[in-house]
Structure 1
Amino acid sequence: MNRQLAGTLTGRATKWVVLVTWLLLGVGSAFFASKLADVQNNEASSWLPQSAESTRAFEKLEPFQDPNAIPTTIVYERDGGLTDEDLAAIEEHAKEFAGIEGVAVAKEGRPPSVISPALAEQVGFPAISDNGEVAQTTVTFDLGSEGWNKMPGIADELRDIADLDGGDVYIAGVGGSAADSAEAFGGIDTTLLAATLGIVILILLFTYRSPILWILPIFSAIVALFVSQALIYFLAKYADLTVNGQSYAILTILVIGAGTDYALLLVARYREELRRHEDRHEAMAFALHRAAPALFASAATVALGMLCLLFAEMNSTAGLGPVAAIGIAVTFLVMITLLPALLVITGRWIFWPRRPGFRSPEPTENGMWAKVGRWIVPRPRQVWVVTSILLAIACLGLLRLDTNGLATEDSYTKEFQSITGQKALVDAGLIDQSNTVMVVANAGSEDAVTEALTGLDNVQPPKPAVTQGDVTFVEAAIGSDPASPAAFETVESVRDAVHAVDGADALVGGNSAFYLDTKDAANRDNLVIIPIILLVVFLILMALLRSVLAPVILIATVVLSFGAALGISALLFDYVFGFEGSDPGFPLFSFVFLVALGIDYNIFLMTRVREETMHHGTRKGALVALTSTGGVITSAGLVLAATFLVLGTIPVVFLAQLGVAVALGVILDTMIVRSVLVTAINMDLGGKIWWPSKIDSDDSPLTVAEAEERLETVH
């Protein structure tokens, strides 16, 4: 940032204009930010890739089934067997279910929307277990496009009706899963924010050793969050941007975490300049002038990295891209305008009790990172080689990473009603009739399609075909958890069978087909998007550092850190947490955050190295940069790691795993990769790191004595 512009932003008069502007924006945005949860779309079809077979089948299903239909299963269980009174009560419950607002109207040729055990026998499937302990009633709802958000209330209505004195009742099936998913993300807008802010405040209190300084970064981050959420609300409401509980949670974490990181870097630089300049406005002008390029490069790297997600086939993944990019862009603007204005308005006293006085000594000279730098100086090559080998060994843990997906019962960190009900059906030998394969084909091929489905493993006898116009519909229940590998194998066998029917042009949809297509799309996105992100990050680093070799080395270190983080995480998931596997999208999401955020710390370090190189040479500059930025970057890493760990408070395995992996990767980046590996490489290669630039062609190896002298001279 131009120093004149930096001075203007925090001038004696303009600082008040900046403050008032952001206050008005923050207050005006708060109302719309609170409404963001109302425009979330957690409907499964909103995550579906448009090119998937299940999507194309879904589009053809409308004549036979409402596109917003949500089949729901009410599971009754009594140890020792359901009594005649129980069965009579269950039939009465079914009549009451039919009166609930939102129950679908059955289309011509289709089964009724409410199927009790007695009616189930008539339409051809058993709804009472052989041992008489379990029974099921299915109810199909059509609640419009907002149906998935309404399911928690509907589930409560079903429970109120389905009381079985002394027995157990569970709301399962697709509707039960939707209700439990909503519960898992329930209160995310308040509990997640409160937990995140609480952890960040504690870290800032420890970092700043000030009881009041933390207020300014936190206040700025909250303003950034409100403005980001308001912008995203309007895009979701009027521009069809997909926002779901997952992206909502990540936005909160990202804005608070990244915003605090930017604040730490700026405040640290401002503190340095306050020791060099008597006037705080002048000090802030110099701090912004020197810190803003690194902050901009960091924000641009994360934002552009997130926008690469737009190349994803998965709507949920593609939707996260602009959501996260908007959050980062707004946060960057707030932290280079509002936070500097607040700092110069409050003055030096805000640092109490450690006020940085004019010409006071710099405390980093004998800090931990200065000692690490002195330790690296005599043996840089040995340090980076050994460090690289250790990280590579950690990567071997990737052999234990299973990304074939999670069954429904393994997708949460606690057991919800829908999972308990599903287990009760499986243990009783009953099939959840809400989980079906849905085949749409050309009219006239219904007999051949029905025959192709008959006798397939794990596929129940098909229901009678229904034909509308030139399309026929055949449906059959499958006896596996919708998201299980067994269900995926069943869908693949069904597709193989019906695709072989001449002239049918059959398409297979349904819940399990959706999950299978989601898995395939996620695997495709992993292969396509990861190289694109690496290219974008490389180009940004090349423009920032005006070098080719340095960006290549930095990206290699971050990828090595990513592999090590995922390797260690895989071992933790398997042997400590006992997770059954990982979501197919887990590697991509982890990569996006670890590479985009991990490269941040290298940007903060290397921009300072380049700045110091102009005065002291690369090797001495690397030592000065490490001692100057070590403390603030370590604090920034701790903040970001802690904020991502907060994702573990949401009882969803995917988010818990993402939080652990990103937190672990950030710690590796800040404590080992940036401080030890990159610094050792800088000291080993010296001026060669800037190739093809020759800004330091005369740099010579650094001795311990020279290192001590240089640190004393600089500080």
Structure 2
Amino acid sequence: MSPHMTGRTSRPVPHAARTTGPRRPRTVAWLVLLLTVVGLGAVFALGPSDATTTEATGASLPASSQSAEVAEIVKSFPAGAVAPAIVVFSNTDGSPLTAAQQELVSQRSASLGAFGLAPEAARPQVVEDKVATVAVLLPTAAGDDENTAAVDRIRQAASADLAAPLQAQVTGGPAFRADVTKVFAGADSTLLIATASVVAVLLLITYRSPVLWLVPLIVVGAGDRTAGILVGALAPHVGVEVDASAAGILSVLVFGAGTDYALLLVSRYRDELHLTDDRFTAMARAWRGTAPAVLASGTTVVLSLLTLLAAELTGNRGLGFAGAVGILTAMLFGLVVLPAALVLPGRWLFWPLVPKVGDPVVADRRGLWSRIGQGVAKRPAQVAVAGTAVLLVLASGALGLRTGLAQEDSFRRTPEAVLGQRTLAAVQPAGAVDPLTLLSSTATGDQVADAARQVPGVSSVTPGGHTDRWARADVVLDSAPGTAASDRTIDQLRRRVAQVPDSGALVGGATAEAYDTSRANAHDTRLVVPLVLAIVLVVLIALLRALVAPLLLVATVILSYFAALGASWTVFRTFYDFPATDTNVPLLSFLFLVALGVDYNIFLIARTREDTVAGHDTRRAVLRALASTGGVITSAGILLAAVFAVLGVLPLITLTQIGIIVGIGVLLDTLLVRTVLVPALVLLTGRRFWWPGRPETAGGSKRAGVAE
């Protein structure tokens, strides 16, 4: 029997064979590193500073949406496209405003109005003697930095020298936008530092070497910076916009996937060093054994992310493009740069656990994962049923899942805009903080306004000027922006005003934009989910040359996703008290979990097929694959889950939710699905797992050839 069939625990290569030809591989490795350094220098010198190509944060709507149409039309009005930053004066103890306090607010309104486009509009309004408001009109077309600076100036002027208990809070659309912008201020640096720190600690624990962990960390870190610059340079040429949130997720993807690829390669390289004294030969074998799985895994993730280019929301399209470029960069650095960086230093890189020739490879050791595999093999049917039952129980937690966060619930730490909205909502309709903009033809303006007043949930309709073609009105809703009640009112309002003949009525504004964004996310989910599943299935079919195996693997990934969603919803309600998930969280979590979660199945089953073709029957092959990949895949899964958990360092609930769902899902894929459920399914189906392929036949042919 050949050494390859027995795990390749052969004798060391003779010295003469070891010394005849390392010069060329060494030269190639040095050349790769030299070209990498030169390329990095050129990219850093000539490219943009980061991946961000737009100041806007959030998912922009397509031009065909009503909100986008309204935003464009209001630019033709004399005041342009404006939104009020509402300064809310009140006493912290809830007492009525005194005459002196009201006089102070009146005097201060003039200076506050100077910060806006229409100073005369900044007239104080006192409500129930408890709250006084001053509306400062700011341009909606201003960039995030300009808007934030304007809101900061208003906040400083409003709060200057106020005697307790009088306080000033600034809320409204511009204020919310400024507070979201501040969430992402320095987010790239925060995420990069946190992610790199997590990766460094876990690599150090995994390798137990004071040196080895530095090599993949440096390579992946260089890949991350390269990916960011490439995205920033290429995005404008392909017509996509990448915002700060997409840039942050890009780093998480590159570090997570890149480190996974590194763990796989280093593990295989270490095994090969047990079999040969020539480290260049060992790396060549490790690369040939690792590359197909990494390429299949990376291709799956890249194609899945590219499905977002078909999305309606420009934010989703930007994230898809940025993520795809990031994964391609991680694959390039993992399969080209990392092998050169690992092989040149020699075996001492693994000190103190230096691999010695002749020691058994992982697959032939009686370690933890070998024992787990033997335990699964004893009762595969019971294990498969138990594993499936656990996932179904966890998935049942998603039955009460609610989606759609109100505007005020989007932050983990309550910002001033939310506090001001709550103060105002105590004395005014909750929707007063961000009125809707109602447009109609000039001739039908009064009719449309009357029709709007008849809609349940509408508190008031106030005419707001007109042009030769359009009449404008501000609509205040009873419910707070972003709530289910607000969404229902917007839908009914649009239906009602559209029935006015020849009105061409449109409803927009920031609250309507949030509603349209929610609907666009629902559309993107219906479009992207089937595409991603189809892509994963096709890649698995091409890699495994089978039908049964891909179908079973996709089924386990889908079940794992719903289990992660159910478990996460339980966590959200129990520990975080989140009222709902944001509308884009299920889609992005599904995308990351299915695309990245299938990686571990690919690593396991690709190794199983390799050993089957090498001459082992399917049962023996899957147990060897579990023993050889168990440690590295578990390390990779824990690391990836920890990297996504880093998203929780940002005070925005959306990113926290994505991080938790993906983290739990990856852990389920790593510790349950790949560890016991998939091996049990392989053991139950046997050679039928590969139908219509017959890798065992190929393995039999190899055995026959050796026997002859």
Bigger shift: 661-670 or 446-455? 446-455
Aligned to 1:87: 102
| Contact 1:49–1:518, Cα closer than 8 Å, also in 2 | no
The alignment partner of 1:464 has SS state of strand
Give the distance between the partners of 1:83 and 1:9, measured in 2 at CA: 88
How far apart, in 1, do the equivalents of 2:659 and 2:299 lie? 22
Structure 1 match to 2:440 = 441
Would the aligned equivalents of 1:113 and 1:139 in 2 still touch at CA under 8 Å? Answer: no
Choose the corresponding residue for 1:19, options 13, 33, 36: 33
The answer to whether structure 1 residue 159 and structure 2 residue 155 are counterparts is yes
Q: Is the 8 A contact 1:25 1:227 kept in 2?
A: no
Q: Displacement of 1:502 after TM fit?
A: 1.3
Contact 1:688 1:697 in 2 (8 A): no
Offset, 1:499: 1.0
Q: Is the 8 A contact 2:298 2:331 kept in 1?
A: yes
Partner of 1:690: 690
CA distance in structure 1 between the partners assigned to 2:79 and 2:639 by the alignment: 47
Q: Which residue identity lines up with residue 647 of structure 1 in the other structure? A: L
After superposition, what is the alpha-carbon deviation per residue over 1:668-702, rounded to whole angstroms, capped at 9, x for unaligned?
001110110111111121111111012226999xx
Q: Could you tell me how far apart the structure 2 residues matched to 1:457 and 1:685 are?
A: 59
What do you get for the CA RMSD once the two structures are aligned? 2.3
Q: Deviations over 1:295-315 (max 9, x none)?
A: 011110001000011121122
- 1:675 is matched with 675
Inter-partner Cα distance in structure 2 for 1:510 and 1:674: 48
CA contact (8 A) 1:609 1:621 kept: yes
Matched residues in 2 for 1:671 and 1:38: separation?
Answer: 36
What residue number does 1:40 align with? Answer: 54
Distance in structure 1 (CA, Å) of the matches to 2:693 and 2:661: 36
Does the residue aligned with 2:413 lie in a helix, a strand or coil? Answer: coil
Alignment correspondent of 1:705 = none
Could you tell me which residue of structure 1 aligns to residue 398 of structure 2?
398
State the AA in 2 paired with 1:95.
A
Shift of 1:237: 4.9
Instruction: Look up the SS of the partner of 2:695 in the other structure.
Output: coil
SS in 1 for 2:507: strand
Aligned-residue offset at 1:201: 1.1
1:74 aligned onto 2:70 = no
The answer on whether the counterparts of 1:257 and 1:640 sit within 8 Å (CA) in structure 2 is yes
TM-score (norm 1): 0.90
Deviations 1:61-120 (A, max 9, x none): 2212777634211111213233333333323333223433xx33x5xxxxx674221xxx
Match of 1:707 in 2: none
Contact 2:85 2:174 in 1 (8 A): yes
Indicate the SS of the match to 1:128: strand
| Counterpart for residue 662 of structure 2 | 662
Q: 2:13 maps to which residue? A: none
Which stretch shows the higher mean deviation, 10-19 or 186-195?
A: 10-19
Query: Which of 134, 137, 143 does residue 134 from structure 2 map onto?
Result: 137
Q: Secondary structure of the equivalent of 1:463?
A: strand
Alpha-carbon spacing, 1:624–1:586, altered in 2? closer, same or farther (3 Å): same
Does residue 99 of structure 1 match 2:106? no
Residue-by-residue CA offset, 1:156-176 (whole Å, 9 max, x unaligned): 211221122222221211111
Is the 1:687–1:699 contact (alpha carbons within 8 Å) kept by the matching residues of 2? Answer: no
Letter in 1 for 2:88: V
After TM superposition, the structure 1 = structure 2 runs for residues 260-659 of structure 1, keeping only pairs within 5 Å, are 260-363=259-362, 365-403=365-403, 405-429=404-428, 433-464=432-463, 466-614=465-613, 615-659=615-659
Q: Which one-letter code corresponds to 2:472 in the other structure?
A: F
1:359 Cα shift?
2.0
Q: TM-score, normalised by structure 2?
A: 0.91
Which residue type is aligned with residue 682 of structure 1? V
When residues 661 and 92 of structure 1 are mapped into structure 2, their CA distance, relative to the original with a 3 A threshold, is same
2:564·2:665 contact (CA, 8 Å) conserved in 1? Answer: yes
Determine if the alignment matches structure 1 residue 128 to structure 2 residue 143: no
Partner AA of 2:99 in structure 1: D
Q: 1:97 to 1:457 in 2, by over 3 A?
A: same
User: Residue 21 and residue 696 in structure 1: after superposition, are their counterparts in 2 closer, same or farther (change >3 A)?
Assistant: same
Query: Is the contact made by 1:72 and 1:172 (CA closer than 8 Å) also made in structure 2?
Result: yes
Change (3 A) 1:67 1:338: farther
Q: Distance in 2 between matches of 1:400 and 1:352?
A: 52
Q: 1:435 to 1:8 in 2, by over 3 A?
A: farther
Shift of 1:560: 0.8
**Alpha carbons of structure 1 residues 359 and 437: separation in structure 2 relative to 1, 3 Å:** same
Moved more, 238-247 or 183-192: 238-247
Task: Name the counterpart of 1:53.
Answer: 66
Give, in angstroms, the shift of residue 517 of structure 1.
1.2
Tell me how far apart the structure 2 counterparts of residues 144 and 505 of structure 1 sit (CA, whole Å). 24
> How far 1:390 sits from its partner (Å)?
2.0
Q: 2-side partners of 1:674 and 1:423: how far apart?
A: 48
Match of 2:10 in 1: none
Once the two structures are overlaid, the 10-residue window that deviates more, 158-167 or 584-593, is 158-167
- Contact residue 40 and residue 243 of structure 1 kept, 8 A: yes
479-488 or 359-368: which moved more?
Answer: 359-368
Q: Which residue of 1 aligns with 2:7?
A: none
Distance verdict in 2 for CA 1:243–1:331, change over 3 Å: same
Deviation larger for 156-165 or 330-339 = 156-165
Q: CA offset at residue 292 of structure 1?
A: 0.5
Q: Is the 8 A contact 1:58 1:67 kept in 2?
A: no
Range moving further from structure 2, 63-72 or 597-606:
63-72
Looking at structure 1, the residues matched to 334 and 68 of structure 2 have their Cα atoms a distance apart, in angstroms, of 42
Structure 1 segment 178-327 matched on structure 2, within 5 A: 178-237=177-236, 239-327=238-326
Q: Distance in 1 between matches of 2:439 and 2:295?
A: 52
Report what 2:16 is aligned to: none
* Matched letter for residue 133 of structure 2: Q
Aligned equivalents of 1:32, 1:477: Cα separation in 2: 50
Q: Percent identity?
A: 36
- Between 1:679-688 and 1:471-480, the stretch displaced more is 471-480
- Once the two structures are TM-superposed, the CA of residue 380 in structure 1 deviates from its matched residue by 1.3
CA 1:481/1:688 → structure 2, altered by over 3 Å: closer, same or farther?
Answer: same
Please give the per-residue CA displacement for 1:110-150, whole angstroms capped at 9, x wherever unaligned: xx674221xxxxxxxxx3220x232111112227452x233
Give the 3 Å change call, closer, same or farther, for CA 82–39 of structure 1 in structure 2. Answer: farther
Q: Using the TM superposition, give the Cα deviation of residue 363 of structure 1 relative to its aligned residue in structure 2, in angstroms.
A: 4.8
Aligned AA (2:600): Y
Structure 2 unmatched ranges of 5 or more: 1-20, 701-708
Counterpart-to-counterpart distance in 1, 2:172 and 2:148? 13
Give the conservation status (yes or no) of the 8 Å contact 1:442–1:504.
yes
Q: Secondary structure of the residue that 1:11 maps to in structure 2?
A: helix
3-state SS, counterpart of residue 127 of structure 2: coil
CA distance in 2, matches of 1:693, 1:492: 53
| 1:626/1:33 CA distance change after superposition, 3 Å | farther
Aligned length: 673
User: Within 2, Cα distance between the matches of 1:669 and 1:8?
Assistant: 40
Aligned partner of 1:710 in structure 2 is none
Conserved? CA contact 2:626–2:675, under 8 Å = yes
Query: Residue 145 and residue 168 in structure 1: after superposition, are their counterparts in 2 closer, same or farther (change >3 A)?
Result: closer
The residue type equivalent to 1:151 in the other structure is N
CA distance in 2, matches of 1:72, 1:32: 40
**Aligned equivalents of 1:471, 1:410: Cα separation in 2:** 35
